[in-house]
Homo-oligomer: A and B are copies of this chain.
Amino acid sequence: MKKIAILTFVGFFFYACNLKKEPNPEEFFTKKAKEEQISNFGIVIHGGAGTILKENMSDSLEAAYKKILEIAIKTGYEILENGGSSLDAIAKTINVMEDSPLFNAGKGAVFTNQGTNELDASVMDGSNLDAGAVSGVKKIKNPINLAIKVMTHSPHVMLSGEGAEQFALEQGFEFMDSSYFYTESRFQSLQKIKEAKKSSLTHDAKSAFEDPYIKDYKFGTVGAAALDKHGNLAAGTSTGGMTNKKWNRIGDAPIIGAGTYANNATCAVSSTGWGEFFIRAVVAHDISALMEYKGMTLKEAAVDVIQKKVPALGGDGGIIAIDKGGNMVMEFNTEGMYRASMNAKGELVIAIYKD
């Protein structure tokens, strides 16, 4: 409050001093640029990539997805519009998707081979390169909030399993019963994939057409990236991982550099795809590095990584990202990606399929 009072006073002082001055073109230009920077904000989100085809989707389900994507992005957008932080915006936006059973994160997470739900999440603050991540938590309603708490209230970046839950308990997080995460459709997906494995069919051929939600067992994640009015970038990712995953598998979502990366010097990125390939290609950091060291635009860097490098390894998926100038991309090499973006002008894009 004291700071604001001082700033207001200083601001008024300069205003008073300049009252009678003629407008100076150079000053005007500087002021204009500053205003443009301040007004340049935006948020972009994804709800998973995969074999999402129009012919497999009912109109009502499509409408339900679009509705939640809109609620989610507008939640973060309002925070940004009111001068809130990109970190707060991506967290609240991701919370909406975590709380929806439609997405593979929080409620609605896919099932592991053991029939449990193991959740991963990560977050990065582009202003100071601070980061937090959790993997394999089973009782946390909003894993992205726990990742943020790891970042802000622990000396660590990444905690896992029961240890991460012990930390959550110490920080006052509420524990959810495993039934909270149960959704019938996800449980049926697990059964189908297990049956498909038994009958030696390839998972893709079988599961792609039977699961009414995201069509691939290896996909589905939610994420958001935002630029706020203060010029700060942030990104976050939250997931239930891969259906039928075994051996406490950790995918790219909780890995800083692979699933999430943010740096005010370049961009903020959240990934969704076949996690193993995204880890090996260090996808999120690679996009940032191509911009910073090779002078690529965000779009060029995203195309290079998602359309060339990841497919060259044999992987697929997508990313959403926003750069320090407010430019946004939603790049994927799968049939579809649940996605939305909203820029400073309030222009809203919501899309699911390729075109």
Residues of chain A touching chain B, judged by Cβ–Cβ distance below 8 Å, are: 124, 129-131, 135-136, 154-164, 166-167, 245-251, 255-258, 261, 275-276, 279-282, 285-286, 289-290, 293-294, 313
Q: Which residue of B lies closest to A285 (CB)?
A: B282
A66 to B353, CA, bound (A): 60
How many copies make up the complex?
A: 2
A249 x B163 contact (CB < 8 A): yes
Known A257-B257, A286-B289, A289-B286: A159·B280 in contact at CB below 8 Å = no
List the B side residues contacting A156 at CB < 8 Å. Answer: 245, 247, 249, 276
Query: Which of A161, A249, A282 has the most CB atoms of chain B within a 10 A radius of its CB?
Result: A282
User: Chain B's nearest CB lies how many Å from the CB of A313?
Assistant: 6
Known contacts A157-B280, A290-B293: A167-B285 contact under CB 8 Å: no
Q: Looking at the complex, which one of B124, B246, B293 makes contact with A293 (CB distance below 8 Å)?
A: B293
Of A131, A251, A261, A289, most buried by chain B (CB within 10 Å of CB) is: A289
**Residues of B contacting A250 in the complex (Cβ-Cβ under 8 angstroms):** 135, 157-160
Indicate if the CB atoms of A256 and B280 lie closer than 8 Å.
yes
Beta-carbon contact of B282 and A261 below 8 Å: yes
Q: How far is the CA of A248 from the CA of B162 in the complex (A)?
A: 7
A135: which B residues are within 8 A, CB to CB? 160, 250
Q: How far is the CB of A210 from chain B (nearest CB, A)?
A: 21
Min CB gap A309→B, angstroms: 9
Residues on the B chain within 8 Å of A279, using CB: 131, 157-158, 256-257
CB-defined contacts of A131 to chain B, threshold 8 Å:
279-280
Residues on the B chain within 8 Å of A256, using CB: 255, 258, 279-280, 282
- Which chain B residues lie closer than 8 Å to A258 at the CB level? 256-257
Most buried by B among A129, A156, A275: A156
- Once the chains are docked, how many angstroms separate the CA of A124 from the CA of B275? 16
